[in-house]
Structures are given as structure tokens and as C-alpha cells.
Amino acid sequence: MAARSGAVLTCFASKLMFLALSCVALAGYAISTPTNDIRPLVIWHGLGDTYASRGIIQFESEVKKLHPGIFVHSVYINRDVEEDKRATFYGNVNAQIDLVAEQLASIPELGRGFDAIGFSQGGQFLRGYVERYNDPPVYNLITFGSQHMGISDIPPCRSFDFLCEVARRAAKAGAYTEWAQEHLVQAQYFRDPNQLGLYMTLNSFLADINNELMLPAARNVTYANNLASLENLILVLFAQDKTVIPKESAWFGSEAPLEELDASSTQPDDQHPLGKPQLTAARTIVPMKLQPLYVEDYIGLRSLDERGTITLQTCPGEHMHLTGCWEDLVRKWVGQSF
């Protein structure tokens, strides 16, 4: 009888313990739910940086202070940091975006979507992800000093940066060659305003995601639909930017083609099958709202703007000098609830 009573008490105690643990688990779930309800953040670093550099790690830490409990993922092309850095100079951008799309789709925390921040060239690469994949979807996209309308010159390198210097020389020697368009990252968003025909025909990345194609029928409607699905697009320009040429590319601005002095001087020849550029006239900037891709809404940019969901922001310093600039933007556009 005593043994049976002991067994009953043990069973009763076990049930109480189960109930207690269940209550703790439920309480824990209730506490963690608000944290899990925060939209995660994806970061794509820029040229010459890595997914795990000191600056990126520090930025992630600061974001987590602003938004406790947020999940942050830093995009990588290669887990090896030296190879990841190399991939910012050398590689096929289209293949890199394909790889990143698989990477993001494999992370459970990102399954419901995320906000995204692109630093420098990482900004147009994230835009490429939105236009081509967007699964899981991006809600708010912030780009800092990105080259959305490309660059008309290859930026100079830091002193003793051999990796950068070799890539720069190769790109300047022939940005639109097949080899450059396959292997040199910067060449794949090089947009010469005086050779737009070559750019639209031979550029392997930027011309495609901008839908700047020779044949209007070749434009991808999905790109416009996907970009227009963003809740907000925040474009940040650095006022003293001397790295991105022109700096207005961060706001979808570009250099206008040089003015033709006379018709005969621009006729095609063997060296310039699409016409010779003029190098004597002054340059002007074509702003976003005068770009054909905006006017005709090639990529959904005009749709976003007419909804009031494009924000143009200026940071006062040089390229990627974020001090005193990023915090308000990240506080406002990152870390919202689903």
C-alpha cells in the first residue's frame, strides 16, 4: 500500500513538474515573441571590405544596441575573409547575387523577410537581389553611396592596395571587353555616358538591372514589380564623395553625354563603331526624375516615388564616412515589427 501511495505521489509530482515547466516555457515564449517579431536586417558590404571586418562587426553591434533582439546577417561570398575581400574586386556579379539569394533563402530567421542595408556597391547588388529574387522579401532598402547609375570612372585605390590597383588598371584598359564583364566587378557597373550603346549592349550587370537595354521588348517587367513592392527605398549620397564618379549615382543621377560640337565628329569609324565621344564640352548631371528609366518606369522607381516611398538623404562627409549620419536612418527604417 505504501509503495502504491509512493507511486501515486511520484506521478502527481511529475504532473506538477510538467505543468510548471509548461508554464515556464509559455512565459518564456511570451517574453521572446516581441524579440522574434522584429524584422531582421541583412547587410552587404562594399568594395575592399569583408563580411566580418572590424567595421562591419562594429556596425552590427551598434544596430543591436538600437534594436535589442534584432537578428543581423552579413552577406558573404566566401567564408574566408581574404577570399571574400577578393570577391569585391574579382568575380561575376550575377553569379554572386545568385549565390546570395540561395544563402538568404537558407536562413530560417529571414523566412518572413527583412530590411536591408547596402554599403557602396553592396547597395546596387542588394537592389539586384530585390529585382531578380526578392524571396524572402525586402521591406526597407537603405543604400549608402551606391552606384545605381554606375560609375563613369574607376575610383582610385588606397596606397599600397595592390589587389585594387591591378583590378583598376584592368578595368580602365577595357571595361566592356568580354573578360572584364565576366571577371572585374567594377567593370560590371561601369557606365560610360559617351558610349551608352556599348554599355547597353555589352554591360553584363548594371544595364540589365536598370532595364537599360537596346530592345524595349527585352526589359524585364518582374524587375519593376519587385522593386515597386518595397515599403521604402532610402538613397544616401555623400556630399563630399570623390570616390563615386559621379556621386549623384547614389540618387540615380548620371553624367550627361558630352555635347556634340558637330555631326561629322561623332560619325562611326572602325575604332568607334557607335560614334566617337566628344571630350571638350562641359558635363551636367541628369537627375533621377529625368532619367528614361524613371520617366518610363523601367524598374518601378517612378511607382515608388509617386507613392512617396523614396527618401533622398545626404551625409556630409566623404564616401562611406558614416559618423553622425547612419544612426537616425537605422533607428527609423530598421527594426520595425512585422
Neighbours of 215 (CB within 10 A): 7
CA distance linking residue 110 with residue 314, whole number of Å: 29
Give 176-200 as a DSSP string: TSHHHHHHBTGGGGB--TT-HHHHH
CA distance linking residue 187 with residue 172, whole number of Å: 8
CB 313 within 8 A of CB 235: yes
Quick one: DSSP state of residue 151? Answer: B
CA distance linking residue 120 with residue 187, whole number of Å: 15
Q: Which of 49, 115, 120, 208 is catalytic?
A: 120
Q: Which of 84, 192, 241, 297 is catalytic?
A: 241
Torsions phi, psi for 313 (to 5 deg): -125, 145
Active-site residue 241, yes or no?
yes
Q: Where are the beta strands (DSSP E) in 190-287?
A: 232-238, 254-255, 285-286
- CA 199 to mean position of chain CA atoms: 21
Contacts of 310 (CB under 8 A, 6+ apart): 232, 233, 234, 235, 301, 304
CA distance linking residue 196 with residue 258, whole number of Å: 12
Nearest to 249 by CA among 259, 233, 236: 236
Q: Is 179 helix (H, G, I), strand (E, B) or coil?
A: helix
CA distance linking residue 222 with residue 279, whole number of Å: 38
**Residue 198 is inside which H or E element, if any?**
helix 196-202
Q: Which of 45, 67, 148, 319 is catalytic?
A: 319
- Catalytic positions, written as ranges: 120, 241, 319
